[in-house]
């Protein structure tokens, strides 16, 4: 409510002003529909134009615009939503459909958990050109084609977009690849690892092969490339708007980090010959492309000067002129000239290369591009990802045509005559001489495939069998000659990802061949090393109460620890410790009911993984104490470095607690956890919660256990109490080593439409209050952990309650707990999530040691925040979008005409400083958690205001609506542009930030003279000033604000 009351002034507000709101701010606020909306069709059609966002940008408007045009590209919001859609299926079909066998479900799980480093590591470990593949892979025919969600109305996951997103963020981190420290030093490696390895061509096959060889420890690897730049066809032929030169050159840098030498302007058969390879007793991998175009006879003797290009002329010339870093010129200098096109261009062919030519023709100045091909549109060889863009840019398609002859005028192409193709009853295609079509055009680009070329074929033929212009290899990429291997385009693997897998396969064949020559044993099953960086060397072990934990991640005493084999499997997966399912003396045995573990009601309509909570009415373990004690003994024998904590429960009985404690100690448990907090079932037997809510009983029990216990023991705290520090204090007074906080929160999850609760048991459909777990209870867990840590400094705490990724584990560390127990997150997925958490936490610690990464939040770089109230950026719809596109098109065209492109900026390497340990960061947040009076004491520096970044804003108005109906009516919302403007009435409540759907679109900044020059200090509206009487009801009068 807006109200002005000027004491001592002539204008004094009346009672009616109490009820006057800012009509301008509320003009677009939602209203309850009282009647059907009336509007003429003509008005609707016109108004639609103003708000239209999905206008196609015609190809002819793309001149000089080589920016990303893929429909799969994702930003942070889109990537997180898409990653959370993924089901992370068992035996995932998507992975089986990937030629390089990337662990797709795991890398997507990493993205969903804000671990872009972990995702990129998984991708690049199996595919060293994972960024390139994320940009150009025809996933509709590969991984996405096998996605189980493709069987639903939701559709398959955008896997390529997620892959590009993750690896692009890793690229921005500027973390070099490093040699695996498990290898002996380079000078201590066996002599066989210094064998010379030549790789012909610097495309995906050679990059992959060289990378894996370098990871294996080979130190004398050289890639030779005939062009002046590396990258093969990825650099020279795939356009910048699909695959950037920055991406390709970065992938090459990663292998150079491992010591691989890349020599450009070095041609196989001239600068390095087969004879040279033999003399040096080197190994050879042939990973070249197919450099010679197939040209129809009617184009004989034609050249670009006549208006005729082959794809091998046109695409490399376009690439060098448009891709930063390829031409060797510096930023702002003149680049080599791009093909200068105009008018109508015909592209001949219907493969991927033809459609690369199509998009590039538009960007080189063509006004119309027509794709002509011999067969039907249904028979086009191009993948869906290529044809979608061509259709979107309004390229034209002309099927059933084959070139017959070219019409020339003044030495330039003016038209082409085409035979009409027909198909007989046997399915064979033939040209019909009676049907000839003449098409006027200004340029022709032939994309009828390519071959290896006679000179290169002759040189390769000295060592390998050639057939139909391809190098013949077996399944292991071996040629007929020992020590000569091949892969990629030259063997018929036309996709980048297939070429990469050829190189990957060949690397192990080369390794096996070289080591056998030296009589060294090589495993039968290939064991290719993963990507390794300095992040992987970060130590995340931690010591608690004298116990050394390999990492801070452990199983809670919950469903994941139901059996001993499950705990063993968790250790194999990488978990650092486990707390057994709670067991009791035989006399206190339990039998569960069912159903008993259900998804929570806090996750909205989301199904599958990423449930926000679970509710259970499960009791302690149904298995005997003998089972658990026997199993603990076996676990400690099999996994001596892992911590095993026995969770035990008894009633308020000294003899019982001491007997059970002795059994668990004698079994070899590293520590005990006293379950004093089970919120359902056990309390009715005088156990669990019945003991844990009373300080005197907690102190008694801890004292009894202390008398017989010579190992650490932790009392498990209940959150179902007013002050948890009172109970923690009682445990400490009783002699407990520390506490576990918290157990599940008592609750009731569902009441269904028939009035019965869920889970419902038996014919009577009965239920009981159960334990709520998962990230819905994390705020409570963080509060209670931090409260205990603040009150009892140095008192060990094992946290549990809502940790679901490395980022949230770090929050518990900052709150005062060095290790975290996990259940719900595993219930959502499986034991392997721990690898995501391990790499994520290592990255967090590594980033804190690098000043350039320390400000990254959730592994995403900070945006350039707006710090003052400026507005006016054009929205991206209707006439404003037209204006934006026109300005961008003009800028691109100007650069194109001037021939200026940027170079590849040399990003400075960053050396990490001192990497903090978990112990260094333990409890870091505690000093910032105080009372409300502490916050008031910071006045006037305790006020902030919101600022909107217009360029990120999508104009949804969510900020305005929440501010109007639950806040302070401090946001104006323009009716034409739908842009929010935050006024001086902003109180800094932060509701707008909380509901904004775009990351970092709205930020909070300190309120001062810079951010609010007209209202640098916050003066709250009191309605009726203090000390003034209540005002009578009066007429409502508008008050100008």
CA 284 to chain centre: 37
For 478, phi then psi, to 5°, come to -90, 140
Q: What angle do CA 380, 374, 405 make, to 5 degrees?
A: 145
Residue with more model confidence, 624 or 425 = 624
For 19-23, 46-50, 878-882, which range has the lowest pLDDT when averaged over its residues?
19-23
- Local structure of residue 761 (DSSP, 8 states): B
% of residues, the chain, pLDDT over 90: 78
Assign residue 249 a region: left if phi > 0, alpha if psi is -120 to 50, beta otherwise? alpha
Among candidates 977, 1008, 988, which has minimal Cα distance to 871?
A: 977
- Local structure of residue 888 (DSSP, 8 states): H
pLDDT over 80 (residue 16): no
Pairing of strands 770-773, 614-616: antiparallel
pLDDT score, position 901? 57
DSSP for 480-531 reads SSTTEEE-SGGGT--SHHHHHHHHHHHHHHHHHHHHHHTT----SS--PPPP
**Which H or E run includes 88?**
none
Q: What angle do CA 16, 20, 21 make, to 5 degrees?
A: 170
| Tens-place pLDDT, residues 996-1036 | 999 889 999 999 999 899 999 988 888 888 988 887 776 44
Catalytic residue among 441, 678, 709, 953: 678
pLDDT score, position 5? 40
Measured distance CA(568)–CA(553) in Å, rounded: 14
For 228-232, 422-426, 882-886, which range has the lowest pLDDT when averaged over its residues?
882-886
Measured distance CA(399)–CA(374) in Å, rounded: 6
pLDDT score, position 469? 85
The neighbouring-strand residues paired with 199 are 223, 285
| Tens-place pLDDT, residues 835-873 | 999 999 999 999 999 999 999 999 999 876 544 444 457
Measured distance CA(729)–CA(250) in Å, rounded: 55
Q: Is the dihedral of CA 386, 392, 394, 396 positive or negative?
A: positive
Q: Are 825 and 803 a contacting pair, CB within 8 Å?
A: yes
What's the Cα-to-Cα distance from 925 to each of 795, 845, 852, 928, rounded to whole Å? 16, 16, 22, 5
What's the Cα-to-Cα distance from 884 to each of 394, 565, 879, rounded to whole Å? 20, 61, 9
What strands lie across the sheet with 614-616, from one edge to the other?
597-599, 614-616, 770-773, 745-747
pLDDT score, position 107? 97
Measured distance CA(670)–CA(680) in Å, rounded: 28
Q: What mean pLDDT comes out for the span 290-316?
A: 94
The neighbouring-strand residues paired with 333 are none
pLDDT over 80 (residue 335): no
- Collapsed DSSP state (helix, strand, coil) of residue 783: helix
Query: pLDDT confidence of 902, banded at 50, 70, 90?
Result: low
Q: What angle do CA 492, 137, 160 make, to 5 degrees?
A: 160
pLDDT over 90 (residue 158): yes
Q: Are 695 and 726 a contacting pair, CB within 8 Å?
A: yes
Among candidates 281, 132, 284, 289, which has minimal Cα distance to 226?
A: 289
Measured distance CA(12)–CA(206) in Å, rounded: 81
Round to the nearest angstrom and report the end-to-end CA distance of the chain.
11
CA 302 to chain centre: 48
**Which residues make Cβ contacts (< 8 Å) with residue 648, sequence separation at least 6?**
582, 583, 584, 657, 660, 661, 664, 672, 673, 674, 675
Q: What mean pLDDT comes out for the span 186-211?
A: 96
Among candidates 373, 374, 372, 369, which has minimal Cα distance to 389?
A: 369
The neighbouring-strand residues paired with 430 are 422
Burial class of residue 116, CB neighbours in 10 A (0-12, 13-18, 19+)? buried
| Tens-place pLDDT, residues 19-47 | 555 556 677 888 898 999 999 999 999 99
For 224-233, 266-275, 871-880, which range has the lowest pLDDT when averaged over its residues?
871-880
- Count CB-CB contacts under 10 A for residue 292: 17
Q: Where are the alpha helices (DSSP H) in 908-990?
A: 918-921, 932-936, 958-966
pLDDT score, position 903? 52
> Interhelix angle for 654-666 vs 695-708, to 10°?
40
- Count CB-CB contacts under 10 A for residue 1003: 18
Q: Are 689 and 613 a contacting pair, CB within 8 Å?
A: no
Q: Are 232 and 225 a contacting pair, CB within 8 Å?
A: yes
**Which residues make Cβ contacts (< 8 Å) with residue 95, sequence separation at least 6?**
101, 102, 103, 104, 105, 143
Among candidates 142, 3, 140, 174, which has minimal Cα distance to 72?
A: 140
Among candidates 50, 4, 2, 6, which has minimal Cα distance to 24?
A: 2
- Count CB-CB contacts under 10 A for residue 330: 8
| Tens-place pLDDT, residues 928-972 | 999 999 999 988 888 999 999 888 899 999 999 999 999 899 999
Q: Is the dihedral of CA 322, 324, 329, 331 positive or negative?
A: positive
**Which H or E run includes 551?**
none
Q: What mean pLDDT comes out for the span 435-441?
A: 95
Question: Can 678 be counted among the known catalytic residues?
Answer: yes
| Tens-place pLDDT, residues 534-567 | 999 999 999 999 999 999 999 999 999 999 999 9
**Which residues make Cβ contacts (< 8 Å) with residue 141, sequence separation at least 6?**
383, 384
For 446, phi then psi, to 5°, come to -95, 125
| Tens-place pLDDT, residues 248-275 | 999 999 999 999 999 999 999 999 999 9
| Tens-place pLDDT, residues 768-810 | 999 999 999 999 999 999 999 999 999 999 999 999 999 999 9
């Amino acid at each position: 409510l807006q109200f002005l009351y000027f004491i001592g002034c002539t204008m004094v507000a009346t009672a009616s002003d109490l009820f006057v709101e800012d009509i301008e701010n509320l003009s677009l606020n939602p209203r309850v529909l009282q009647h059907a909306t009336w509007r003429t069709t003509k008005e609707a059609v016109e108004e639609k134009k103003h708000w239209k966002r999905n206008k196609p940008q015609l190809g002819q408007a793309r001149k000089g615009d080589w920016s990303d045009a893929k429909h799969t590209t994702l930003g942070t919001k889109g990537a997180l939503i898409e990653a959370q859609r993924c089901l992370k299926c068992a035996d995932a079909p998507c992975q089986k459909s990937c030629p390089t066998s990337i662990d797709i479900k795991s890398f997507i799980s990493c993205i969903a958990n804000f671990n872009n480093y972990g995702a990129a590591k998984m991708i690049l470990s199996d595919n060293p050109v994972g960024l390139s593949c994320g940009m150009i892979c025809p996933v509709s025919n590969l991984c996405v084609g096998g996605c189980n969600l493709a069987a639903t109305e939701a559709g398959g996951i955008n896997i390529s977009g997620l892959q590009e997103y993750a690896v692009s963020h890793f690229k921005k981190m500027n973390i070099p690849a490093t040699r695996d420290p498990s290898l002996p030093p380079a000078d201590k490696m066996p002599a066989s690892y210094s064998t010379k390895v030549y790789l012909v061509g610097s495309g995906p096959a050679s990059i992959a092969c060289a990378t894996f060889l370098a990871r294996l420890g080979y130190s004398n690897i050289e890639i030779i490339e005939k062009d002046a730049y590396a990258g093969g066809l990825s650099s020279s032929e795939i356009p910048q708007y699909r695959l950037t030169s920055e991406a390709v050159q970065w992938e090459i840098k990663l292998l150079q980090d491992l010591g691989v030498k890349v020599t450009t302007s070095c041609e196989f058969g001239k600068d390095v010959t087969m004879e040279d390879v033999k003399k040096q007793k080197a190994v050879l991998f042939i990973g070249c492309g197919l450099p010679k175009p197939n040209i129809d006879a009617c184009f004989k003797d034609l050249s670009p000067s006549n208006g005729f290009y082959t794809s091998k002329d046109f695409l490399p010339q376009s690439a060098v002129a448009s891709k930063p870093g390829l031409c060797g010129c510096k930023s702002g200098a003149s680049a080599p000239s791009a093909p200068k096109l105009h008018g109508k261009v015909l592209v001949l062919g219907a493969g991927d290369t033809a459609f690369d030519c199509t998009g590039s023709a538009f960007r080189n100045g063509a006004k119309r591009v027509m794709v002509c091909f011999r067969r039907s549109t249904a028979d086009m060889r191009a993948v869906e990802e290529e044809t979608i863009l061509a259709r979107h840019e309004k390229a034209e398609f002309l099927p059933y045509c084959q070139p017959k002859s070219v019409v020339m005028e003044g030495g330039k192409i003016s038209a082409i005559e085409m035979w009409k193709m027909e198909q007989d009853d046997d399915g064979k295609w033939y040209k019909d001489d009676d049907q000839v079509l003449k098409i006027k055009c200004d340029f022709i680009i032939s994309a009828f495939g390519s071959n290896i070329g006679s000179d290169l074929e002759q040189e390769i033929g000295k060592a390998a069998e050639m057939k139909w212009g391809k190098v013949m290899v077996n399944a292991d990429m071996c040629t007929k000659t020992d020590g000569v291997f091949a892969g990629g385009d030259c063997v018929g693997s036309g996709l980048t990802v297939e070429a990469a897998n050829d190189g990957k396969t060949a690397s192990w064949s080369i390794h096996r061949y070289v080591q056998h020559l030296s009589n060294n044993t090589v495993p039968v099953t290939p064991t290719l090393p993963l990507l390794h960086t300095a992040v992987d060397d970060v130590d995340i072990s931690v010591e608690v109460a004298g116990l050394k934990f390999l990492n801070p991640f452990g199983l809670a005493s919950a469903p994941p620890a139901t059996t001993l084999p499950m705990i063993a499997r968790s250790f194999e997966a990488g978990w650092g410790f486990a707390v057994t399912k709670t067991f009791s003396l035989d006399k206190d045995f339990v039998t569960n009911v069912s159903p008993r573990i259900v998804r929570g009601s806090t996750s909205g309509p989301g199904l599958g993984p990423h449930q926000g909570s679970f509710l259970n009415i499960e009791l302690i373990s149904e298995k005997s104490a003998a089972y658990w004690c026997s199993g603990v003994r076996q676990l400690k024998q099999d996994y001596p470095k892992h911590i095993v904590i026995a969770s035990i429960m008894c009633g308020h009985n000294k003899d019982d607690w001491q007997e059970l404690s002795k059994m668990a100690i004698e079994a070899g448990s590293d520590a005990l956890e006293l379950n004093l907090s089970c919120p359902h079932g056990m309390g009715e037997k005088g156990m669990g919660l019945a003991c844990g809510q009373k300080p005197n009983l907690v102190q008694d029990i801890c004292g009894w256990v202390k008398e017989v216990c010579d190992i650490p023991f932790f009392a498990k705290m209940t959150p179902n109490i007013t002050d948890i520090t009172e109970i923690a204090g009682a445990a400490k007074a009783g002699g407990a080593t520390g506490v576990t906080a918290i157990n599940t929160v008592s609750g009731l999850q569902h009441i269904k439409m028939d009035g019965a609760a869920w889970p419902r048991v038996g014919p009577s459909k009965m239920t009981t209050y159960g334990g709520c777990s998962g990230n819905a209870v994390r705020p409570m867990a963080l509060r209670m952990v931090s409260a205990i840590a603040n009150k009892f400094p140095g008192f060990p705490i094992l946290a549990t309650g809502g940790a679901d990724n490395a980022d949230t584990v770090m929050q518990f560390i900052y709150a005062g707990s060095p290790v975290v127990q996990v259940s719900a997150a595993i219930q959502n997925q499986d034991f392997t999530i721990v690898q995501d958490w391990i790499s994520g936490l290592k990255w967090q610690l590594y980033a804190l040691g690098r000043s350039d990464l320390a400000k990254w939040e959730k592994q995403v770089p900070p945006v350039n925040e707006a710090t003052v109230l400026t507005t006016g950026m054009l929205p991206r719809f209707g006439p404003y979008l037209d204006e934006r596109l026109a300005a961008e098109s003009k800028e691109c065209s100007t650069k194109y005409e001037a021939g200026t492109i940027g170079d590849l900026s040399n990003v400075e390497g960053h050396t990490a400083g001192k990497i903090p340990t978990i112990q260094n960061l333990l409890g870091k947040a505690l000093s910032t958690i105080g009372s409300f009076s502490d916050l008031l004491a910071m006045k006037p520096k305790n006020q902030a205001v919101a600022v909107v970044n217009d360029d990120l804003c999508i104009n949804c108005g969510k900020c305005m609506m929440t501010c109007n109906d639950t806040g302070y009516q401090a946001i104006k919302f323009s009716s034409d542009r739908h842009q929010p403007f935050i006024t001086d009435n902003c109180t800094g409540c932060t509701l707008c930030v909380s509901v904004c759907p775009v990351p970092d679109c709205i930020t909070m900044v300190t309120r001062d003279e810079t951010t609010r020059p007209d209202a640098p200090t916050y003066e709250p509206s009191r309605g009726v000033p203090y000390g003034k009487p209540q005002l009578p009801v009066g007429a409502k009068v508008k008050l100008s604000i």
